[in-house]
Amino acid sequence: AENEHVCLSLARALGLPAAETTVRTFEGESALVVTRYDRVRRDDGSIRRLHQEDFCQALGIPPEQRYEQHGGHGSGTLSELLWGHSSAPADDVWAFAGANVFNWLIGGTDAHAKNYSVMIGSKGRIRLAPLYDVASAVPHVHPKRLRLANRIGGKYRTQDIRARHWKRFATDVNLPVEKVIDMGLLMADRLPEELRRITASARTQGIDHPIMESLVNQLTDRARYCAGVLQGQAMPEGHAGFGRRPRGTAR
């Protein structure tokens, strides 16, 4: 719960639409509490449900194919859904691209087609839904085994992804190459400070867990590494250090 809360809070801090969360304890167990974004309150106080479809539903593919490696669609096709049907296509494709960069930065390995959705509002207005179900696998998985749900420029393993693969990704989703690289560099630069702020704020609210300190240490190291990748460095600083399993975290 703490991992997902921190990562979704970090996504929002870096400018991405993401569900608002907190962590509560029930009978000694921590639980993630998510604010519903698919409900709106009418003037009379009643609640209206907003229709949401994940990308598998929107594209008519079975949930078993939610991962690209299991026969699902890649980022290019997923972005085409937004380019073709969103009411604000450029904004939503940039948010989708930013989500891909963010998951690479944090080692988020579960950003498959069922974890992206569109909201369908009145008069058929369609927008990318806020991010949900986002967490870092870095505290639990060795860097050589971190694999993204969708390929970036033909690569699944985060350790294999270089600047040229992000340039190919930008072309796949029909966005300016250099602006995608710049977005990644800005996120990597801002991530450490925002992460420290978020975890410090969480502790003042009584939210604490050893994994939070692990996220600060390892994702700070990883952000440095990813920035080096985007700058074209052959062996970016931080490459050898990130991904070591911290003491006290689950296997």
Structure tokens at 193: 């400070």
Q: pLDDT (tens digit, 9 = 90+) per residue, 234-249?
A: 777 665 444 444 444 4
Which are the contacts of 211, defined by CB distance < 8 A and separation ≥ 6?
A: 2, 3, 139, 246, 249
Task: Sketch the domain layout of the chain as residue ranges.
Answer: 2-38+49-230
pLDDT of 46 > 90? The answer is no
Three-class DSSP category at 164 = helix
Which of 21-30, 58-67, 119-128, 158-167 bottoms out in mean pLDDT, i.e. has the lowest?
Answer: 21-30
Which range in 12-26, 124-138, 237-251 is most confidently predicted, on average pLDDT?
124-138
pLDDT at 189: 98
Contacts 24+ apart (CB under 8 A), 178-187: 180/97, 180/101, 181/230, 183/94, 183/97, 183/98, 183/101, 184/101, 184/104, 184/105, 184/226, 184/227, 184/230, 185/227, 185/230, 185/231, 187/14, 187/98, 187/101, 187/102, 187/105
Mean pLDDT of 132-154: 94
Which CA distances in Å does 58 have to 71, 81, 130, 190, 213?
16, 8, 16, 33, 38
Q: Which residues are catalytic?
A: 110
Model confidence, pTM:
0.89
Mean pLDDT of 217-232: 95
For a pLDDT cut of 90, what percent of the chain falls above it? Answer: 73
The CATH class, in words, for 2-38+49-230 is: mainly alpha
Structure tokens at 101: 């960069």
Burial of 71 (0-12, 13-18, 19+ CB in 10 A): exposed
For a pLDDT cut of 70, what percent of the chain falls above it? Answer: 94
